[in-house]
Chains A and B, each alone.
Chain A
Amino acid sequence: MKFSDEFESRFAEMLTHYPTKRSALVPTLLYAQDEIGHLSDEVIAELARRVDLTELEVRNVISYYSMLTTKPRGKYNVQVCTNIACMLRGGEELLDHCKKKLDVGHKGTTGDGMFTLEEVECIGACSWAPAVQVNYDFHENLTTDKLDKVLDEYKKKGTQ
């Protein structure tokens, strides 16, 4: 199990921030997932060992948090907010548009592994609705046309 140097130094530092090791768990899981793509059995075993928990205890934590996943996702996770502020300004239409364009449903991944689609709850962009987050990038005040351009950009970047 090999993580990046940045991961290792952040993890080592975080352990010094808390009186218990497991306190570092939640953010560490997310950083690990970022590097490996998903929380594989191997990652879970490794992190459980590092914070002195059983694998079951770590899985218990993982299943609680919506951003954490034990299954691989596409290169770009397209998260469409359909919560109230986005719904009023066309969030559902954006989701339908993505479903058609990408030919996948909620949490589905395109055949080429490029995109995963996810309907998500409020992402804190209500005043700039409707909004979509692709991995960690926010895209706001969207229309279907603007979203098409955004997705095309990612596709281009992803095939380079």
Chain B
Amino acid sequence: MAARINNQEINNQQFQMASLVSHPDEVKVVSRRFGQGATDIDRYLALDGYKAVQKALSMKPDDIITQVKESGLRGRGGAGFNAGLKWSFVPKQSAKPKYILCNGDESEPGTCKDRLIFEHDPHSVIEGVMIAGIAVGSHTGYIYIRGEYRYLSVIMQKAIRDAYAKGFLGKNIFGSGYDFDVYWHGGAGAYEVGEESALMESLEGKRGIPRIRPPFPAVVGLWGGPTVINNAETLASVPHIILGGADWYAKLGTPKNGGTRLFCLSGHLVKPGVYELPMGYNLKKMIYEVGGGIPNGRALKAVVPGGSSTPVLTVDEIDIPMDFDSVGKAGSMLGSGGVVVLDDTTCIVKFALRTMKFYRHESCGWCIPCREGTDWLEKTLTRFHNGGGLKKDIDNIQYLAENMLGRTFCPLGDAAAMPTIAFVKKFRKEFEDHLEGRPCPFEKAGAELAAV
């Protein structure tokens, strides 16, 4: 009885949608149309859909780029690069076609926000791709969605078909004389493919292995043509900026960190969920008020503020504004918006081990420091958690991780090393508590707790 998947059935099925939450402090921009039936193109139009792209068609391309630059919109995929600035690197003249590539590979542990955008507002992504295209003089966009998100691919494929049927895509869009095509593309399971250069390899039908930079994708990207790669949330924010104005958007956030973002609250919280909050919202408040605090009368131990690759923050480090620069100043990163909360029953060694197991599994094997480093670190942490650790291992873990930094084609090696270094530095005592045959102190605590 082999697995046979009936795609017709998937097409017709009513999806069990991820549940939505809300909080009075939310400022809804990207999530404005969530729960409003905007997958339907007519509904999207009634909710101001496809107005921004028409406005963009009447603007000078450079003015679009300036608007996006001044809005302070920074990449929501993790690195936080100013989106307008990235677009400005695309050469005006190019012998090869230029491309827009929307990154919907969403696989950084702790991150589940692009999923909601595709589920509730797929046309906003299409519109963002179109505006980016008009700004840089491209006529083709691809929307890459991870393979696991099949139901979202169904939604997106339909949205694209509907946009073509209305004449919003294809030749002479909105009677402007400008041609623009948007295509769906799907992955088949790989975190590394979310990295921009591996993403292009995957789209070209290859193993997702990173490319050396420079040249950067803005100059040499898909099939050698200049390519803008942006996260789905970044692109979905663009139409709102064009309609609402750079000034309005910038003022929602903090200096150089415009707008709002979707924060994915997960872990030990009373009310986990995806909330749209202004850039710069206080992390402590996010945990205790928006997320409802720590359940079961437990206390907070640590927070991973921006997806599994970002260095952990301790209880004393969370009274900070959540924007790229402030979290950077606190020694971590705002990353992809995945806020993972750990209570005091969590074993940091085990958490570090699970994080490393992920990176070992996902390392594509291209660069030796990453391939071997993640493997050694997973082995060492496994031994450590099982009580077979030696005191010198603690320094060795840190030394190994530090020597992976910056020595790989893509930042997956850094993504594995950075959190590891922070776990060892900030929770050294917990590593010491596991030494020389001692059982994990938290497994015992957990067992006692369960027995009570």
Within 8 A of A (CB), among B148-176: 148-151
**Are A74 and B207 in contact, with the CB atoms below 8 A?**
no
The minimal Cβ–Cβ distance linking B109 to chain A, given in whole angstroms, is 4
| B146 at the binding interface (Cβ < 8 Å) | yes
**Are A84 and B18 in contact, with the CB atoms below 8 A?**
no
The interface residues of chain A lying within 8 Å CB-to-CB of B188 are 26-27, 29-30, 65-68
The minimal Cβ–Cβ distance linking A30 to chain B, given in whole angstroms, is 5
| B183 at the binding interface (Cβ < 8 Å) | yes
Closest to A113 in B: B1
User: Out of A18, A122, A129, which one reaches B358, CB within 8 Å?
Assistant: A122
Q: If the complex has contacts A23-B205, A122-B107, A124-B112, are A36 and B4 also in contact, measured as CB distance less than 8 A? A: yes
**Are B207 and A73 in contact, with the CB atoms below 8 A?**
no
| A160 at the binding interface (Cβ < 8 Å) | no
- Segment of B45-53, B238-246, B264-272, B322-330 engaged in the interface with chain A: B264-272
**Are A126 and B191 in contact, with the CB atoms below 8 A?**
no
- Segment of B5-13, B123-131, B247-255, B396-404 engaged in the interface with chain A: B5-13
**Are B205 and A38 in contact, with the CB atoms below 8 A?**
no
Give the CA-CA distance A25 to B202 in the complex, in Å: 9
Give the CA-CA distance A75 to B267 in the complex, in Å: 32
| B95 at the binding interface (Cβ < 8 Å) | no
The interface residues of chain A lying within 8 Å CB-to-CB of B452 are none
Give the CA-CA distance A133 to B147 in the complex, in Å: 12
Q: How many residues of B contact A (CB 8 A)?
A: 67
Residue among B3, B111, B223, B273 with the highest chain A CB neighbour number at 10 A: B3
Residue among A19, A112, A127, A136 with the highest chain B CB neighbour number at 10 A: A127
**Are A88 and B346 in contact, with the CB atoms below 8 A?**
yes
| B340 at the binding interface (Cβ < 8 Å) | yes
Give the CA-CA distance A135 to B114 in the complex, in Å: 20
**Are B223 and A37 in contact, with the CB atoms below 8 A?**
no
The interface residues of chain A lying within 8 Å CB-to-CB of B274 are 127
Give the CA-CA distance A92 to B34 in the complex, in Å: 32
**Are A125 and B18 in contact, with the CB atoms below 8 A?**
yes
**Are B148 and A68 in contact, with the CB atoms below 8 A?**
no
**Are A138 and B3 in contact, with the CB atoms below 8 A?**
no
Give the CA-CA distance A73 to B267 in the complex, in Å: 31
Q: Mark B261-296, 1 if CB is under 8 A from A, else 0.
A: 000111110001110000000000000000000000
The minimal Cβ–Cβ distance linking A105 to chain B, given in whole angstroms, is 16
The minimal Cβ–Cβ distance linking A47 to chain B, given in whole angstroms, is 11
User: Out of A68, A83, A126, A135, which one reaches B189, CB within 8 Å?
Assistant: A68
| A100 at the binding interface (Cβ < 8 Å) | no
**Are A72 and B2 in contact, with the CB atoms below 8 A?**
yes
**Are A26 and B109 in contact, with the CB atoms below 8 A?**
no
User: Out of B1, B16, B206, which one reaches A61, CB within 8 Å?
Assistant: B206
Question: How many A-B contacts at CB < 8 Å in the complex?
Answer: 193
Q: How many residues of A contact B (CB 8 A)?
A: 65
**Are A65 and B109 in contact, with the CB atoms below 8 A?**
no
Within 8 A of B (CB), among A102-127: 112-114, 116, 121-127
**Are A121 and B3 in contact, with the CB atoms below 8 A?**
no
The interface residues of chain B lying within 8 Å CB-to-CB of A18 are 183
The minimal Cβ–Cβ distance linking B379 to chain A, given in whole angstroms, is 18
The interface residues of chain A lying within 8 Å CB-to-CB of B204 are 20, 22-23
| B208 at the binding interface (Cβ < 8 Å) | yes
Give the CA-CA distance A131 to B384 in the complex, in Å: 28
| B304 at the binding interface (Cβ < 8 Å) | yes
The interface residues of chain A lying within 8 Å CB-to-CB of B304 are 84
The minimal Cβ–Cβ distance linking A15 to chain B, given in whole angstroms, is 11
**Are B3 and A85 in contact, with the CB atoms below 8 A?**
no
Give the CA-CA distance A144 to B204 in the complex, in Å: 41
**Are B189 and A75 in contact, with the CB atoms below 8 A?**
no
**Are B355 and A84 in contact, with the CB atoms below 8 A?**
yes
The interface residues of chain A lying within 8 Å CB-to-CB of B107 are 121-122, 124
**Are A35 and B147 in contact, with the CB atoms below 8 A?**
no
**Are A138 and B18 in contact, with the CB atoms below 8 A?**
yes
The interface residues of chain A lying within 8 Å CB-to-CB of B149 are 124
User: Out of A24, A68, A88, A113, which one reaches B205, CB within 8 Å?
Assistant: A24
Give the CA-CA distance A23 to B10 in the complex, in Å: 24
Closest to A17 in B: B183
The minimal Cβ–Cβ distance linking A23 to chain B, given in whole angstroms, is 5
**Are B19 and A128 in contact, with the CB atoms below 8 A?**
yes
**Are B205 and A51 in contact, with the CB atoms below 8 A?**
yes
User: Out of A30, A77, A125, which one reaches B3, CB within 8 Å?
Assistant: A77
| B425 at the binding interface (Cβ < 8 Å) | no
The minimal Cβ–Cβ distance linking B385 to chain A, given in whole angstroms, is 13
**Are A127 and B183 in contact, with the CB atoms below 8 A?**
no
| B373 at the binding interface (Cβ < 8 Å) | no
**Are B308 and A26 in contact, with the CB atoms below 8 A?**
no
**Are A67 and B148 in contact, with the CB atoms below 8 A?**
yes
Give 25 pairs: A residue, B residue, CB < 8 Å, sorted on A: A19-B223, A22-B205, A23-B205, A25-B205, A26-B185, A35-B7, A36-B2, A66-B189, A66-B190, A67-B188, A73-B2, A74-B3, A75-B4, A84-B354, A87-B354, A88-B267, A121-B191, A121-B358, A122-B308, A123-B148, A124-B148, A127-B112, A127-B265, A127-B272, A135-B3
20 further A-B pairs in the complex, CB-CB below 8 A; given A35-B7, A38-B2, A85-B267: A17-B142, A17-B181, A20-B204, A23-B205, A24-B205, A26-B203, A34-B7, A38-B3, A60-B207, A72-B3, A75-B2, A84-B354, A88-B346, A121-B109, A122-B109, A124-B114, A126-B340, A127-B265, A135-B5, A138-B18
Chain A residues within CB distance 8 Å of chain B: 4, 6-7, 17-27, 29-31, 34-38, 51, 60-61, 64-68, 72-77, 82-85, 87-89, 112-114, 116, 121-129, 133, 135-141, 158
Which are the 5 A-B pairs with shortest beta-carbon distances?
A37-B2, A67-B189, A22-B205, A66-B189, A25-B205
